[in-house]
Structure 1
């Protein structure tokens, strides 16, 4: 049985009077740096869409994505509307349902990160609490491609396609 996660990928488009013409490279997404000692000194492939696990038999994916956003970041996500971007499968078999919303006006501040307990170093017998994520910020889609964990990078391609199709309407 696969493990399921759901997350919210907020984006914000460049301002209309910006002189550059490559909208995709100037679009920003909100991503979070994974917390804990393993990730502390890493940047590439150490960021994630705010997301977490859920049981699809007991909870709707969008509800889980909202719940996990609040648990990880300690703030409410914007009101939406939200659109399902797709389900992305990691090489491990884990499935991540990603929802998108325009995050224009959402400030990446005031976070109160959720925590987890971990034995560190491994097999040391010492347990400590660490933040699930230790920071979250707006970053360009170009920068997010190297910063996100590998299994979430296809969501950026899907977001680019979604935004391009929406611009055609």
Structure 2
């Protein structure tokens, strides 16, 4: 069985206090509604082998946030295997984005389970800027490595090749 792959884009900005903040989204739907810790994600999504990871990251950003991916230099943060076995590839881009402009995409699922009723839920129900340390416990565990890699790249260290 082929490995599922996902790609995404982590926006970051620098504050007047020289802190680095990242834009992350709280996952939508009934499973995540009451959770805060480990319930946020980098905007990302699955792609098929015929699509490049870069194109998928750009597409998923727009699907999840309703806005085009911002222009800027893409900094490769590499790959990480998630607990579910999915391989996630992330890039970072320095850009600012007003969370009030976000218009999240949606998905359908049967809810409550077994009811036969399909309901629509937002892919991401809210987004926010958080400094790296505040974002760490919010992100799902398998994505926290990308915060470490971003900090390394911004400090001038570490490789910039995907898979690093």
Whether 1:107 aligns to 2:98 is yes
Q: For residues 31-75 of structure 1, what are the alpha-carbon distances to aligned partners after superposition, in whole Å with 9 as ceiling and x for unaligned?
A: 0000011111111000000000001x2111111001000000101
Map 1:130-141 onto structure 2 (within 5 A): 130-141=121-132
Tell me which residue corresponds to 1:69.
61
- 2:148 counterpart residue number: 157
Q: What is the alpha-carbon distance in structure 2 between the residues aligned to residue 70 and residue 109 of structure 1? A: 15
Give 2:4's aligned residue: 3
Partner Cα distance (1:76, 1:31) in 2: 16
TM-score in terms of structure 2 length: 0.90
Unaligned 5+ segments in structure 2 are 158-164
Secondary structure of the residue that 2:102 maps to in structure 1? Answer: coil
CA RMSD across the alignment? 1.2
In the alignment, the residues of structure 1 paired with residue 69 and residue 83 of structure 2 have an alpha-carbon distance, to the nearest angstrom, of 29
Query: 1:53 aligns to what?
Result: 46
Question: Is 1:79 the counterpart of 2:71 in the alignment?
Answer: yes
- TM-score by length of structure 1 reads 0.88
Distance in 2 between residues matched to 1:163 and 1:141, nearest whole Å: 12
